[in-house]
Amino acid sequence: MARSEHKGRCGRLLDASLLGVPELHTVAGASLPRRMPTLPPDKESMTRNNVTRTHRGRFPARALRTVGGAAALAAALIGSSPANAADPQIPFERYQLDNGIEIILHQDTSTPIVAVNVWYHVGSGDEMPGNSGFAHLFEHMLFQGSQHVGQDRHFEVLKSIGASTVNGTTSPDRTNYFEVVPSHQLETALWLESDRMGYLLPMLNRDSLDNQIDVVRNERRQSVDNVPYGTSQMELAAALYPEGHPYRYRVIGKHEDIAAATVDDVVAFYRKWYSPANATIVVAGDFETAAVKAALGKWFGTFPKLAKPERRPVAVPRIQRVRKEVPDPLAKLPQLTYAWHTPPYLQEGDAELDILANVLASRTGRLQRLLVDEQQVAQEVQAWQTSQQRSSYFSLVVTLKPNADLAAVEATLADELARVVTTPVSQREFDRAVTNLESRFVWGLEPLMARAEYLQRYNHFYGDPDGVARDIARYRQSSPAKVQSTAAAFLRTDQRVEIITKPVQAVTHR
Q: What is the pLDDT along the chain (510 residues), one digit of tens a residue?
A: 332 322 222 222 222 222 222 333 222 222 344 555 543 333 222 222 333 333 333 323 333 333 334 444 444 344 433 345 467 889 999 999 999 999 999 999 999 999 999 999 999 999 999 999 999 999 999 999 999 999 989 999 999 999 999 999 999 999 999 999 999 999 999 999 999 999 999 999 999 999 999 999 999 999 999 999 999 999 999 999 999 898 999 999 999 999 999 999 999 999 999 999 999 999 999 999 999 999 999 999 999 999 999 998 888 888 999 999 999 999 999 999 999 999 999 999 999 999 999 999 999 999 999 999 999 999 999 999 999 999 999 999 999 999 999 999 999 999 999 999 999 999 999 999 999 888 888 888 899 999 999 999 999 999 999 998 888 889 989 999 999 999 999 999 999 999 999 999 865 555
| Backbone dihedral angles phi then psi of residue 398, each to the nearest 5 degrees | -120, 120
Query: What gap in Å lies between CA 385 and CA 355, rounded to an integer?
Result: 9
Q: At what angle do helices 263-273 and 206-220 cross, to 10 degrees?
A: 80
What are residue 498's DSSP bridge partners?
A: 323, 338
Query: What gap in Å lies between CA 152 and CA 2, rounded to an integer?
Result: 12
Helix (H) or strand (E) holding 350: helix 350-361
Query: What gap in Å lies between CA 80 and CA 506, rounded to an integer?
Result: 57
Rg (alpha carbons) of the chain, rounded to whole number: 24
Query: What gap in Å lies between CA 365 and CA 154, rounded to an integer?
Result: 46
Query: 77, 106 in Cβ contact below 8 A?
Result: no
With H, G, I as helix, E, B as strand and everything else as coil, classify residue 335. strand
- E-strand ranges in 294-354 read 322-328, 335-342
Fold adopted by 86-300: Cytochrome Bc1 Complex; Chain A, domain 1 (3.30.830)
Query: What gap in Å lies between CA 450 and CA 456, rounded to an integer?
Result: 10
Query: What gap in Å lies between CA 463 and CA 483, rounded to an integer?
Result: 27
**Cα distances (Å, whole numbers) of residue 248 to 132, 139, 241, 281, 392:** 9, 19, 5, 30, 12
Across 474-495, b (16+ Cβ under 10 Å) vs e yields: bbeebebebbbebbeebbeeee
Query: 308, 474 in Cβ contact below 8 A?
Result: no
Architecture of domain 322-424+479-503: 2-Layer Sandwich (3.30)
DSSP string covering 158-185, please?
Answer: HHHTT-SEEEEEE-SS-EEEEEEEEGGG
Q: Which residues contact 122 (CB under 8 A, 6 or more apart)?
A: 135, 174, 175, 273, 274, 278, 309, 311
Q: Which residue ranges does the chain devote to CATH 3.30.830.10? A: 86-300, 322-424+479-503
Query: What gap in Å lies between CA 451 and CA 140, rounded to an integer?
Result: 24
Q: Which residues contact 482 (CB under 8 A, 6 or more apart)?
A: 352
pTM of the model: 0.83
Q: How far apart are the first and last CA of the chain?
A: 34
